[in-house]
Amino acid sequence: MKLCGVRISNYYNKVRLALLEKGVEFEEDDQCPPSQDEGYLERSAMGKVPYLEVDGKTLTESQAICEYLEETYPQRPLYPKDPWERAKVRELINYLELHVELVSRRLHKQVFYGGTVSDESKAQVERELTKGLKALAKLAKFSPAIAGPELTLADVCAFVHLSIVSVVTRVALGRDMVDEFLPQAKPYLKMLGERPAFQRVSADRKAAAEAVAARRKKS
């Protein structure tokens, strides 16, 4: 089984973290950036990362990949047993990804790729993020994990996504919206960051980001 993508990607890191937390053995091709080349689209139909190669076949979409891993490797589960609690974990993941991460992603063009985002788009993002983060604050338990006492896939998602949303809103909007609407997030992310798998993924993400910055400076 091989995980393909790049270590600066939050969705790639979501799957990598899930694999590491579950203690599943896997190979990695972390030099496999998103692409619209025909060959790449055969493996990842939208040209996105991550994708997982298993026995010559590929699977895309981080959530589908994580659910496949959960069913195939039930050890060290990242979902609670109770169906209601499992659904609550999925609910949190949807809030994090659809109503927070995907919204703030509209600012990436400016923050990471030297482009510009119009004031109108920024205001729209700000409005939608306010709604998404307020909603997340209602659902998040932080007791101590985001869905309750046990670490779940929702924590993995919160870790990889909230840290980016924090930076992106600070840089593009001049306000850290995560900190504003989820003041518990900072100590919670710090606590997660002390787990070995989280520590490792963070360090590797940082190194990958530095390598990208150095390459851009050269070219």
Ligand X SMILES: N[C@@H](CCC(=O)N[C@@H](CS)C(=O)NCC(=O)O)C(=O)O
Cβ partners under 8 Å of residue 104, min gap 6: 125, 129, 164, 165, 168, 169, 177
Number of residues this chain uses to bind ligand X (CB under 6 A): 10
Cβ partners under 8 Å of residue 24, min gap 6: 1, 69, 73, 75
Residue placing its CB nearer to ligand X in the complex, 21 or 97: 97
In whole angstroms, the minimum distance from the beta carbon of 128 to ligand X comes to 17
**What is the sign, positive or negative, of the torsion defined by CA atoms of 3, 112, 120, 118?**
negative
Residue placing its CB nearer to ligand X in the complex, 14 or 22: 14
Query: Do residues 178 and 185 make contact, with C-beta atoms less than 8 angstroms apart?
Result: yes
Binding mask 63-102 for ligand X (x = CB under 6 A): x---------------------------------------
In whole angstroms, give the CA distance from residue 18 to residue 69: 8
Residue placing its CB nearer to ligand X in the complex, 134 or 160: 160
148 touches ligand X by CB under 6 A: no
121 touches ligand X by CB under 6 A: no
Query: Do residues 47 and 34 make contact, with C-beta atoms less than 8 angstroms apart?
Result: yes
Of 27-66, binders to ligand X (CB under 6 A) are 34, 47-49, 61-63
11 touches ligand X by CB under 6 A: yes
In whole angstroms, the minimum distance from the beta carbon of 75 to ligand X comes to 23
Question: In this chain, which stretch among 7-15, 129-137, 153-161, 184-192 interacts with ligand X, using CB under 6 A?
Answer: 7-15
169 touches ligand X by CB under 6 A: no
Query: Do residues 130 and 177 make contact, with C-beta atoms less than 8 angstroms apart?
Result: yes
In whole angstroms, give the CA distance from residue 212 to residue 217: 9
Residues that bind ligand X (CB under 6 A): 9-11, 34, 47-49, 61-63
